[in-house]
Structure 1
Amino acid sequence: MKVGIYVRVSTLEQATEGYSIQEQTDKLKKFCDVKEWSVGEVYTDPGFSGSSLKRPGMQKLINDVEQQKIDAVLVYKLDRLSRSQKDTLYLIEDIFLKYNVHFVSLNENFDTSTPFGRASIGMMSVFAQLEREQITERMQMGKVGRAKAGYFHGGGVIPHGYIYSDGQLIADEKESKIINYIYDQYLSGWGVQSIAKQLNEKHITAKRAVKWSHKVILEILCNNLYIGKIKWKNETYDGLHAPIISDDKFYKAQELMAKRKTMAVKVNQQPFKSKYMLTGICYCAVCGARMFTIKSYSTKNRKYIRKYGCYSQSSVEHMIKDPNCDNDKYDGLELESYVLQRIKKLSMNPKTLNRISESKKAIVSPAGTKSQIKDTEEQIERLLDLYQNGAITYTKIEKRIEELNAQKDSLNEQLKKLESEKLNKSSSDKILKVLSNATDVIESKDYDAQKRLTHALIQKVTLKHDKVTIKWNF
């Protein structure tokens, strides 16, 4: 019998339990000599956890089993294979037994070629899983204990402003100044995105060499670690590390953040109200920036003239896309009049109206497809129940489950399409209603009504020198 030997060890186990790769391999090879089995290949995973099957040695073993290159798999101990009950049973039942490959564990004296061995494997997998969960629990308890004692947990990314040495956080002088600068800028009225942009433009870097972003700045402003606190599992404890920010500065930042959030919610709850017709939907096609309205006094006409100009040519720093943008400025009344005439022409075009009307034809109700998906899921559940109750082997239902899952995926795609069509139908109804009143609105000279008409029908207007491009909402 040709045997594949599998050995795995983590750094901790190698140091404390004596499960080194070489020790396991030697013992397993001697066992094969006694049994007069030939060793095909030794599959090793040094330093890999048993909680996942994503290990190079394990993946090669699975591939060789499927290629029927070996007749049996031998391990030193059951938990070398996996510490997960689910993964252990998957390997034994769906990989090894499926391809008529025996599984033998030296330490537990298990052999799946016998009925007793197969039954014992299931029981031992339960205890292996229990052991892993107990280890995880002990680690969590240890981290809670560290937090209560005022120590940083030490895992993950070390926060900006500190270095981690000998189990403790130590304030970094250079980065502490950056943290204070961020708080000072925020309290002076700067926004989170503007602070990040400023730091990047000034090439102010931290030890992690990450690009400053909205997320990074916000995390710094919200982290009470900077006033000497330790947070773990939604509980806060007094830390042993030195604070970087004063309590007063930190809590003022929290108050300002809450105030800005409340204001943002109020603004977002209000419908968009632009002062001018194309505000919010008009863009520069040269650099991609928004267009805004400019008022300038004409000495020739002795009155103010309103124009649309590119934000890149303004002094609003955060709106500039390209300071070298050379797009033109456009007479506001002429541009708006042109857009309204395009809308009027469109509303009187039979081909356009027919196309929109065609898109709102009756569609199949998604309810029937949802019912089919539910039936398919119930079929899969019934097959899995039979398998779990021992009434049928997984090999016998595997192909049918694959077919049902493929059918379910197909039905879900069909459902998405139907729901999208239903949404488009509703949108088409609204567009046709707006177009039916377009001429009256345009001729009414009601500027607010014309603004609403324009925003209902147009998604985007782009301007590039003498070219005006309109992207419609349908």
Structure 2
Amino acid sequence: MKTAYLYVRVSTDEQKRKGYSLPEQEDRLLKYCDYNNIEVKGIFREDFSAKNFNRPEWKKLIATARNRSKEDKNILFIKWDRFSRNIEYAYEMIGMLRKYKTTPMAIDQPIDFSVPESTVMLAVYLSVPEAENSRRALNTANGLRRAKQMGRYPNKAPVGYINLTTMDGKKIIAPKQPEAGIIRWLFHQLAKNIHRVEAVRRMAEDKGLICSRSYFSKLIRNPAYCGLIPVRLSSGEQYMVKGIHDSLISETLFYEVQRIITTKRKTSSKREELKAMFFLTGFLTCPLCNRKLCGSFSTGSTKKHPYYHCRGRCKTRIKAPLLNESYQQELQRLMLSEKAVNIFNCVLEDWNTNTQKAEYLQERQQVVRKLQEQELTLSQARKLFIAAVLKLDDYSELKREYRVNSKCLKKELNDINEKLKNIDKQRQQGDRPIVNILQGFSSMDTTDKKHLVNLIPPLWVDYKTGDMSLDLNTALSKILLTKKHRSRR
């Protein structure tokens, strides 16, 4: 009696097509074996694509055939497209099976391997599925290209967006909070060109953006965030199309970030560490030889110690934390004069408060309008469902989309309301935070610290005690006063 192993396979896009389900294939193969008096040694069921032979169940079948290579046997399947959809891999696999005394056979497309002319029919049977795959891939690529040319983003939504479906069945993407706000923030941080890309990624991760290094590198290069969609032609050329989705950042900001991240940075992490610690470098002079002091770390037995030191023969060396702390204390003694406070209040009231509040109010109106549109859409769908115009599956899908969209919009609305509350709190606090304008020096970026030291450099320094005085130019002396002078007035 002849023996055979049955192989049934179906891919995801074939599961709903009649005649391609696993039970139907298995039933036909079993009937064929029963009619032809063939003993079934095993059945291998596969839910995998046939573009190659990297399939779990097929690997098990090959291992079984290899272990029983001394006996003749067959592998039965319905058609040759169940075996493979790649003619090159198919011929290679047939040769391998021949070494194991195993013959693949399609019951609907029989081939007699003992007849030389049969190889022509085998080539036809194997080439047709590959041609179908190529045509399907080409049609898919053309469809995606047409969607992009219309300004739609047909792929999976990038981080910060969510895939949605409109009433007419079109796929769109919409901003998703809080990821959208974090991405907007990280682009602004990269545009400052202060931190390394990896440092910005870690800061974004602390804010809640979960993203690997490789994906983050792709994320900051994705033009979809500025509202552009790249379209690649068959010739290999690429051009940008304005997308119909809402952008998170401006095109100017996006291309500025691209310029920064593609330019080789001259600063290393070690230099950034030096700049952060020795922000007074260039403003301190040696008390013995009048040379400019530089900064470096001295390696101790347990840790490194930062020092400002002279490169001359005098070997002057002063602890950096002592002078840094003294400079910050002197800055904290400075405060705005009453006239300057009044001017700052007018400026902040006009721009930082009123303008921001107007923008947030406008954003809130847009979100409320979108929520109302969602409610109207669901109401219309409910009427159509009651009138038996809309099917249950379609109505359920609309309700699911409504819940997702409404949840995102309500979250965005809550964020805007929170920002408006913060603006009202700032108004109630008065001018007290504005008076002590230099209190936040320690939390500033290194670049901002260096800029401030350049505006207000040390005038006199006692290198033994660390005491120092600051040099206020004519303009700054009119708006900045020390606290003791302020109290005497």
In the superposition, the TM-score normalised over structure 1's length comes to 0.52
Any conservation in 1 of the 2:190–2:257 contact (CA below 8 Å)?
Answer: yes
- Cα distance in 1, alignment partners of residues 123 and 7 from structure 2: 19
Aligned residue type for 2:80: L
List aligned pairs for 1:23-422, cutoff 5 A: 23-46=24-47, 48-68=48-68, 71-95=73-97, 97-155=98-156, 158-166=157-165, 167-191=171-195, 192-200=197-205, 203-206=206-209, 209-210=210-211, 213=213, 216-233=215-232, 234-257=238-261, 260-261=263-264, 294-296=307-309, 303-305=314-316
Whole-angstrom distance in 2 between the partners of 1:169 and 1:35? 56
RMSD (Å) for aligned C-alpha atoms? 3.6
Q: CA deviation at 1:86?
A: 1.6
Q: Provide, for residues 92-149 of structure 1, a one-character-per-residue CA deviation record: whole Å limited to 9, x for no partner.
A: 1222x22222222112122435444444323322233222222211111111111112
Distance (whole Å) between structure 2 residues aligned to residue 29 and residue 164 of structure 1: 44
C-alpha contact (below 8 Å) 1:228/1:243 kept by paired residues: yes
Q: Does the residue aligned with 1:15 lie in a helix, a strand or coil?
A: coil
Residues 296 and 306 in structure 2, CA contact (< 8 A), matched pair in contact too? no
Q: Secondary structure at the match of 1:39?
A: strand
User: Which residue identity is paired with 1:205?
Assistant: G
- Structure 1 spans left out of the alignment, 5+ residues: 266-278, 316-474
Structure of higher CA gyration radius: 2
Counterpart Cα distance in 2 of 1:142 and 1:168 = 15
Alpha-carbon shift at residue 303 of structure 1 (Å): 4.5
Instruction: Judge conservation of contact 2:223–2:229 (CA < 8 Å) in 1.
Output: yes
Q: CA deviation at 1:225?
A: 0.9
Query: Which residue type is aligned with residue 49 of structure 1?
Result: S
Match of 2:54, SS?
coil
CA distance in 2, matches of 1:132, 1:242: 35
Q: Can you list the C-alpha shifts for 1:181-234, whole angstroms capped at 9, x where unaligned?
A: 11222233422233223334xx2113xx335x4x55554443221121112333
Match of 2:15 in 1: 14
Aligned pair count reads: 282
User: In 2, distance between residues paired with 1:193 and 1:314?
Assistant: 31
Question: Quick one: percent identity of the two aligned structures?
Answer: 23
1:251: Cα distance to partner?
3.6
Deviations 1:424-453 (A, max 9, x none): xxxxxxxxxxxxxxxxxxxxxxxxxxxxxx
Q: 1:257 to 1:11 in 2, by over 3 A?
A: closer
Residue pair 1:230, 1:236 contacting (<8 A) in 2 also: yes
Q: What secondary structure, in the 3-state scheme, does the structure 2 residue paired with 1:38 have?
A: strand
C-alpha distance in structure 2 between counterparts of 1:197 and 1:313, whole Å:
30
SS of 2:63's equivalent? helix
Deviation at 1:296, TM superposition (A): 4.6
| SS at structure 2 position matched to 1:16 | coil
**Cα deviations across residues 60-97 of structure 1 (Å, max 9, x unaligned)?**
111121122761111100010111112211221222x2
Give distance in 2, aligned partners of 1:312 and 1:106. Answer: 84
1:15 Cα deviation after fit: 1.2
For residues 305-359 of structure 1, give each alpha carbon's deviation from its aligned partner in whole angstroms, at most 9, with x where no partner exists: 459x9x99999xxxxxxxxxxxxxxxxxxxxxxxxxxxxxxxxxxxxxxxxxxxx
> 1:405-439 CA distances to partner (integer Å, 9 max, x unpaired)?
xxxxxxxxxxxxxxxxxxxxxxxxxxxxxxxxxxx
Distance across 2 between alignment mates of 1:88 and 1:314: 76
> Per-residue displacement from partner, 1:227-261 (whole Å, max 9, x unpaired)?
21112333322212111112333344345556x44
Query: For the residues of structure 2 that align with 1:130 and 1:286, how far apart are their CA atoms?
Result: 69
Q: Deviations over 1:266-321 (max 9, x none)?
A: xxxxxxxxxxxxx999988967xxx7973458xxxx944459x9x99999xxxxxx
Confirm or deny: 8 A CA contact 2:309 2:315 kept in the other structure.
yes
CA contact (8 A) 2:72 2:101 kept: no
Question: Is the Cα–Cα contact under 8 Å of residues 5 and 74 in structure 1 kept in the other structure?
Answer: yes
1:11 and 1:151 map into 2 onto residues whose CA distance is 25
CA distance in 1 between partners of 2:100 and 2:200 (Å): 61
CA 1:160–1:282 in structure 2 vs 1: closer, same or farther (change >3 Å)? farther
CA distance in 1, matches of 2:191, 2:102: 68
Mapping for residues 435-454 of structure 1, pairs under 5 Å: none
Quick one: structure 1 residues 286 and 107, their matched pair in 2 at CA, closer, same or farther if it must change by over 3 Å? farther
For 1:285 and 1:112, the matched residues in 2 are separated by 80
Cα distance in structure 2, aligned partners of 1:313 and 1:71: 86
Provide the C-alpha distance between the structure 1 equivalents of 2:306 and 2:252, rounded to a whole number of angstroms: 42
Residues 168, 241 of structure 1: 8 Å contact kept? yes
Q: Which whole-Å CA distance do the structure 2 matches of 1:145 and 1:193 have between them?
A: 36
SS at match of 1:230: strand
Secondary structure of 1:4's partner? strand
Structure 1 residues 10 and 54, CA, compared in 2 at 3 Å: closer, same or farther?
A: same
Counterpart AA for 2:185: Y
Residues 229 and 243, structure 2, Cα contact 8 Å, conserved in 1 = yes
Secondary structure of 1:170's match? Answer: strand
Structure 2 CA distance for aligned equivalents of residues 57 and 17 of structure 1 = 23
Question: In structure 2, what is the Cα distance between the partners aligned to 1:120 and 1:236?
Answer: 46
Q: Distance in 2 between matches of 1:117 and 1:262?
A: 64
